[in-house]
Each structure stands twice: as structure tokens, then as C-alpha cells.
A and B are shown apart, each in its own frame.
Chain A
């Protein structure tokens, strides 16, 4: 029995489409629910981990707006029905992995049957950001508890505030208005890769696994410097690390974009043991093992 992940849905903001983070999250959520063969009302928990959306909304959680838009039990409580709960998690580029751990917890304890994790970022518009660096992307995945299946099998986290803040995102009052400014030092990816590799190596040791046991590494950010650094430090050849062309500027949705790509290429199906790795500002780094397949009946 384990938390399994359905195939994530990915939505990108094309020029002709309104680049709204919320609308991309809505579309990705609907598609992910449909791909999982569920109805919107089947989702018990919705966690949004996207950070950059219209007007830099601070309240309510964007998850509540997505829940209403997608029609996930939005109505007033009434006898004979059941509701859903939604909130946001903010953990930089590690948001998806954090939300997967939270969802996994409630699935494990039998509190819920299905969770939806959604990530989406776009320029907040209205002239609120200077040089927004991320490509508009939304993605969502359904997590379910399945008897007889194996899936997420352990997480590990480390923080390294001693690295200083090589990635900073702030809204500050400048020249008479509030402006979002995102800054990343040139060596962020390579430094993050070293920390991520350390965490991934510790997780493998926790699980009595060696790098050779890992069939596929699905990691974020999807920048060449991070993926190459991770591969070198953890000792897993780059051919076993998933690279997604054109996705290096995807932010919180990156891990789901990589998962979707792995599923599409058939590499997830072929991988018996995959390693999920994320690094974000702080630094915060996390890793998880995703085991694919069915448990052996005994």
C-alpha cells in the first residue's frame, strides 16, 4: 500500500493565451483529474505550491480560488455530502516535493483518498514585477492511496542557511510602488546541486540503496548546471537523469513537468526505482524515492 502519483498534466502560457497563473493552474488541475479517471468532487485535499500569481495575492490561499474554479466541492456544507480542504504551501522550488510529503501523510493515515498538488507561476502583471525570469507554466498531479501498490517511499530534507541567500525574491516599495524582484546568483544551481546530492545520498543510505539501484532521477530545477552537478555529485550518470528541453526557466512546476515528461517518454514505467530531488532558495533541498510497480503478493 502506498501513495501513487497519476500522470501530471502540464499547461504552458502561450503568447495567444492569457498568461494567468491561476487560469493555468485551473486548466492543469482539470486535466490531471480527468487523466486520473476521477471527477472533481473526488478530490479531498488541494495543495497549491505556486508562488507568483496575479497581483501577488496574499490572501486567501490561491488554492481556495482554484478549488472554486475547478468545482471541487465548493458549496456550503450539507448533510449527505462531503467537502474538500485546500491551502497553499510555499517552499520555493521545493514546493511540489513538500506538498507530496504532506499529501502522502494524510493518505497514509486514511484521512483522505485523493489529493491534488498544483503548481503554477506567471508574471503577476499590472507592472508589478521587474524582469520576471520564469516561463509561465502550470502543472498538477493527483495522488491516491492504493492497496497493493508501491509508490512514494520515504523523504529526506536538509537546509543550508549557511550558504547565504543566493536566490532572493522580494516585493519592496520602490519609487512609489510595490515591485517584485527576483534575483539568482550565477552559481546558485551548482551550489544547490552539491547540497541536493548530499541529501539524495543520505536518503539512499536510509533506504539501503546505492546510486546504482536508481534507474531514473527526476529533479528540479531543470537547469543544465543543476542537473549536471547533481549527476556528478551523486554518482548517477547523466543518461539516468531526466532532462526536459526548453524547461530550464520553469519554477515551482518544474518537478511535475519532469514527471510528466518521464511518463510521456515511457521512462517512468520502465524505472523500477526513481529518485525525486528538488532544491530551492534558502537553501532547502529534499529528496524522495518513488518505487514503481505492484507489491509481490505473498
Chain B
């Protein structure tokens, strides 16, 4: 295989990993409580003069209730994913938890034991090897990459990638500090809570599944978004240079996306859906326009946007959006979907897969 910038795995390949992996089921868990952007901005300590809704297109986000946290959202999503799946929890041979936040029992972060073990225990995945991956908002797709590799080599037949993000509390903390549009904590006000899970399994003969997965870390930009526990408040704070990230993402993504398309033998116009990381509706539309301009082609549909309803739900955004599109019946069997990760690190990654009948059949009114 010619050397690419991305660390890339392609299927089918004649190499030492002959099987294909596919998304068998995708689930999510959204808190019922909604917080409108207008309401959040009304809670800021300072008069910010920021019209966040116009700036980002985010109308509202879901926020965790008193009895919800990273673990409950992850476990809820895992249960939803299993409910739609033909697998039972004890079929899972690997369970990888990929959330940035690891809150249990409110705002207590558990570093050890790992979150994955707690999720496995809650859903009854007693046979699964468990570990956590931490890769900012690219965490879940990194987990898919790792899990798919184990499946392609025949090490395991099926596993789950899961994440629960309780991040609305960063918005609560930021509301105390944001003074104007230049605030490094402005991006914290775009966050929403969600859990997501996906079962990845060996694809049956003749099913394309995940055809290309490729990732890279452009680490000279590693310090553009940093988050850590707040000093004097419960929860965490995040400091982001959003404009720099957006500029670099637009500059760097075309070459990487082209590598994925070349590996798959496709053009941009062969892609049905691009599901980018959900930061802001405006940033997504502008970014896709610029990237498509460089690549000289557009996908068959507009980029998927769910940030308007759910905000930026960190590592769960792609799976939350995928469920949304499957539920709405917009994504159909045979569609080619590109999940595009962009995360602090700076992580850029693509997972390209073809949706099959079985996955589609798990959604809609009867599912």
C-alpha cells in the first residue's frame, strides 16, 4: 500500500486482515431536559453581547438531570444499542468506553477503575475485554478504528464502542467567565449532554461495511483546546481557540479526505452523506463548502447538521447524528457515509462505510 499521511486501514485488502467490519447497531441516550441557547445566554454573569444562536445555529441542547452523569448516559446508550441489535450483552467480546468525561454519581470523575468496566457491568457484558480510549471528540471514532481492526484480523467477532458525555456543566462554569465573543470559553456554551454506542461486528460475505478508516494527529496544534477540572467550581473548564481550529481544519482536511477517497476508489460525488463533528451549523456549512471547493466535488446531500438541536455533544456527535438520520429514514441501505472527526489534538479522522439493509431495519416506527 502506498504511504499515506493518514494511518489508514482499508477493506477489502489482500493483507493480513482479510475480513470487513460493519456497524451492526447504533444507539443513543439523550437527556429529556432541554436548555435553550437563549436561556443559557441569559444566565451569563457578564453582559456578553454575543448572539450565540445566530453565531452557531444552536437553538437548544439537552442537559443531564440530577440523576444523570457520564456513566448513566453511556449505559443508557449501550442499552439502546443492544435493544436494536440481534446481539445480547454477553456476545460482546470487547467494550471500549471513549468519553472525555468520566463522571459517576454526579460530578465525581472516576479515573480508576475504567469507565468501560462500569458500563460493561451495568449492561451485563460479562465476557468483554474492557478498556477506555481518550481522544477528545475523536474518541468514539478512534474506538471504532481500534475495534474494527480486531474484527478484521479475526481476533473477535463483535464488540461495542460507547461514550457518555456530561459536559453541559462546562457551559454552566463558562457562563460565569465569558465576557465577550473573544472569550476562550465561548465554545463551552455550545456543549450538550448525550450518550452514544455502536456495535461493530464482522460483516457477512458480500457486505461492504467499513471500507476505509484513517486518522492522524496534527500535533503542532495540540494546545488549541485544553480542558481540565475547574479550580474552584464543580466539574471542568475548557479553553478553546475555535477560529484557529476551524482555519486549520479547513486547510488540512482536503488532502486527508482525498486520501480516503483514493483508497476507496471514489470521488466526492459518490459519497451520499458526510457527518462531520458538530461544533456549529455555520462552521460546518462554511467548512464543507471550502473543503468541497478544494476537492472539486460535492457529496450527494448537504452535510448532516444536528448541532442545532443537541449542541456539540463531544465524542458522541457522529453516532447521535447517525441515529437521527436513520430514525428519520433519510439514510438508506446502500448509502455511503463518511464520518469526519475533528478534535482537540488536533485529531482528524475519517470512517467511510456503506449502510446495509439490516442496519436500516433497526430504525423507524417499528424499531
Contact = CB atoms under 8 A, between A and B. Distances in A.
15 contacts: A58-B229, A68-B222, A74-B218, A76-B248, A87-B347, A106-B7, A109-B17, A109-B153, A161-B113, A161-B120, A169-B111, A169-B112, A172-B108, A173-B107, A286-B129
A52 B223 CA distance: 18
- Candidate in B134, B150, B234, B346 with the most chain A CB atoms within 10 angstroms: B134
Interface stretch (A13-21, A29-37, A91-99, A256-264): A91-99
B336 interface: no
B231 A88 contact: no
A159 B230 contact: no
Contact of B217 (A52, A64, A106, A176): A64
A65 B222 contact: yes
For the residues of A in contact with B, the DSSP-based class is mixed
Contacts of A57: 226-228
5 tightest CB-CB pairs across the interface, nearest first? A282-B113, A109-B17, A68-B219, A87-B135, A281-B112
Interface in B1-38: 1, 3-9, 13, 15-17
Contacts of A94: 131
A94 to B, nearest CB: 7
Contact of A76 (B108, B121, B218): B218
Given A68-B222, A105-B155, A109-B9, 18 more contacts: A58-B134, A59-B100, A59-B226, A65-B222, A78-B5, A87-B142, A88-B135, A91-B116, A105-B146, A108-B153, A109-B149, A111-B9, A157-B130, A161-B113, A172-B108, A173-B233, A180-B111, A281-B112
A60 B7 contact: no
A140 interface: no
Given A60-B343, A83-B218, A282-B113, A89 B7 contact: no
Contacts of A109: 9, 15-17, 149, 152-153
B252 A77 contact: yes
B238 interface: yes
B151 to A, nearest CB: 10
Contacts of A171: 108-109, 111, 229
Contact of B149 (A58, A64, A111): A111
A159 B130 contact: yes
Contacts of A45: 7
Interface of B: 1, 3-9, 13, 15-17, 100-101, 107-114, 116-118, 120-121, 126, 128-136, 138-139, 142, 146, 149-150, 152-153, 155, 215-220, 222-223, 225-236, 238, 248, 251-252, 255-256, 343-347
Contacts of A281: 112-114
Contacts of B131: 89-91, 94-95, 98, 284
Given A55-B228, A108-B153, A169-B110, A161 B248 contact: no
Contacts, number: 234
Given A60-B344, A161-B121, A284-B130, A128 B229 contact: yes
A151 B344 CA distance: 35
B7 A170 contact: no
Interface in A96-128: 98, 102, 105-106, 108-112, 128
Nearest to B10: A111
A155 to B, nearest CB: 8
Interface in A23-81: 44-46, 51-52, 55-61, 63-65, 67-68, 72-79, 81
A86 interface: yes
Contacts of A132: none
Contacts of B220: 68, 74-76
B339 to A, nearest CB: 16
A61 B134 contact: yes
A18 B225 CA distance: 24
B7 A88 contact: no
Interface of A: 44-46, 51-52, 55-61, 63-65, 67-68, 72-79, 81-92, 94-95, 98, 102, 105-106, 108-112, 128, 157, 159, 161, 165, 167-173, 176-178, 180, 182, 280-284, 286
B229 A64 contact: no
A170 B226 CA distance: 20
B149 A157 contact: no
Contacts of B222: 60, 64-65, 67-68, 74
B9 to A, nearest CB: 5
B132 A90 contact: yes
B274 to A, nearest CB: 18
A106 B149 contact: yes
A37 to B, nearest CB: 20
Contacts of B232: 176-177
Nearest to A94: B131
A102 B146 contact: yes
A3 to B, nearest CB: 12
Contact of B16 (A86, A108, A157, A159): A108
Contacts of A72: 219
B345 A86 contact: yes
A220 to B, nearest CB: 14
Contacts of A176: 232
Given A76-B251, A90-B131, A82 B226 contact: no
B149 A60 contact: no
A75 B236 CA distance: 29
A85 B7 contact: yes
A74 B218 CA distance: 5
A87 B133 contact: yes
Contacts of A85: 6-7, 215-217
A172 B128 CA distance: 29
Contacts of A108: 16-17, 153
B244 to A, nearest CB: 12
A77 B345 contact: no
